[in-house]
């Protein structure tokens, strides 16, 4: 069996990190420091918890057919945000064959970041830059290395008593499984005559249901920049209860929300980056478990974080991982400047 390169599956609920999904790892702005020396230590009790479900559309098609897959009608992503050049667009279309698991099991694993790469028997994809004027691709055009997808053997109706899940992913960026904007299950049926697949509206029908609950807020000095060293080495799990993979954490985001409360952020969690009045960020080098917020700069710019000068709203901080299986922040907490 061919080893799968599928290193990470799509993050399905992408608060605070949608724009960072395809960003490379950034240069370090800090060094490892014992948690005992940190000014702010993020613990499990301070982290948010979340639940999420995926209700993906299943598209019946002809078994063994070289399907034509089109995404010209795909306008919204899973978060109901516009799909266009400014937020990545569609750069990659991928096909997955996952034997031994039904649609419900796969969707459940995807939703909480637990679909192991070893479960994927067949992975092939197509980079849309190859034909920028086209919004369609056939299954046989999808490739891994020099191996193309063979619908006659890779996309067939399972034998009686066998369970196989097939799915399509539409993503920004070309890293396998990262940056997914939309997805759907395929159902090969010998009785079907359908050979064309249109990417379904990722926003329709409550495809993604994500709910977050905040943990205990953390106090931080409002004015003393020497007291802004934040450490997360004591975290043991992310919001879904998965073990934290520290070596994949690559950014910290700090946002101010004027006129908002913590409760407001929870009701708009999937838009939390868009509704921020101001966002700052600090890159994190591989393996580092703390950052100095005094080194934060405005997201997308060079202006240095001036401090917690705004008080007519709420401050939130997120520890993020742009290459993890789920793009929801590894940790997110409310900061209370004192």
Q: pTM of this prediction? A: 0.76
Name the residue ranges covered by the structural domains of the chain: 18-51+211-337, 56-205
pLDDT recorded at residue 117: 83
Q: How far apart are CA 223 and CA 329, in angstroms?
A: 26
Residue 201: predicted pLDDT = 84
For residue 106, give the H/E element and its range: helix 103-111
3-state DSSP helix/strand/coil % of the chain, to nearest 5: 15, 30, 50
Q: Write the DSSP string, 218-246.
A: EEE-SS-GGG-EEE-TT--B-TTSPBP-G
Which residues have C-beta within 8 Å of that of residue 3, sequence separation ≥ 6? none
Can you give the pLDDT at residue 86?
A: 59
Write out the chain's pLDDT in tens, 338 residues. 333 333 334 433 333 322 222 233 223 344 455 666 889 999 999 999 998 888 999 999 999 999 999 999 888 888 888 887 656 689 999 999 999 999 999 999 888 877 888 899 999 999 999 998 899 999 999 999 999 999 999 999 999 999 999 999 998 877 776 777 889 999 999 999 999 999 988 887 778 888 899 999 999 999 999 999 999 999 999 999 989 999 989 999 999 999 999 999 988 887 888 899 999 999 999 999 999 999 999 998 999 999 999 999 999 999 998 877 666 899 999 999 99
Q: What does the pLDDT read at residue 85? A: 63
| Residue pair 260/313 in contact by the 8 Å Cβ criterion | yes
Mention every residue, 6+ apart, whose C-beta is less than 8 A from residue 104.
Answer: none
pLDDT at site 218: 96
DSSP 3-state assignment of 164? strand
3-state secondary structure of 151: helix
pLDDT for position 12: 38
* The predicted structure's pLDDT at residue 32: 54
Structure-token pair, residue 103: 């649609």
pLDDT reported for residue 274: 86
């Amino acid at each position: 069996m061919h080893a799968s390169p599928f290193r990470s599956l799509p993050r399905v609920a992408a608060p605070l990190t949608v724009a960072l999904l395809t960003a490379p790892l950034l240069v370090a702005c800090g060094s490892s420091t014992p948690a005992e020396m940190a000014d702010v230590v993020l613990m499990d009790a301070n982290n948010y918890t979340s639940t999420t479900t995926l209700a993906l559309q299943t598209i019946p098609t002809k078994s063994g057919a070289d399907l034509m897959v089109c995404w010209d009608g795909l306008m919204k992503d899973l978060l109901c945000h516009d799909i266009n050049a400014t937020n990545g667009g569609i750069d990659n279309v991928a096909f997955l064959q996952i034997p031994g698991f039904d649609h419900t099991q796969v969707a459940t694993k995807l939703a909480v970041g637990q679909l192991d790469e070893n479960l994927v028997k067949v992975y092939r994809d197509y980079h849309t830059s190859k034909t920028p004027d086209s919004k369609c691709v056939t299954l046989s055009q999808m490739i891994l290395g020099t191996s193309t997808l063979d619908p006659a053997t890779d996309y067939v109706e399972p034998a009686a008593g066998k369970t196989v899940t097939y799915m399509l992913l539409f993503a920004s960026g070309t890293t396998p499984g990262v940056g997914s904007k939309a997805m759907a299950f395929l159902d090969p049926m010998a009785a079907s005559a359908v050979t064309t697949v249109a990417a379904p509206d990722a926003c329709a029908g409550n495809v993604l249901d994500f709910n977050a609950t905040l943990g205990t807020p953390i106090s931080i000095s409002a004015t003393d920049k020497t007291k802004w060293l934040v450490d997360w080495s004591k975290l043991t799990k992310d919001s879904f209860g998965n073990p934290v993979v520290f070596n994949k954490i690559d950014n910290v985001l700090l946002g101010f929300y004027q006129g908002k409360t913590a409760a407001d952020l929870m009701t708009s969690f999937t838009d939390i980056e868009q509704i921020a009045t101001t966002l700052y960020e600090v890159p994190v080098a591989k393996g580092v478990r703390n950052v100095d917020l005094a080194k934060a700069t405005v997201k997308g710019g060079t202006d240095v974080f001036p401090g917690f000068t705004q008080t007519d709203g709420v401050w939130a901080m997120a520890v993020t991982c742009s290459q993890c299986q789920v793009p929801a922040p590894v940790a997110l907490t409310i900061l209370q400047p004192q």
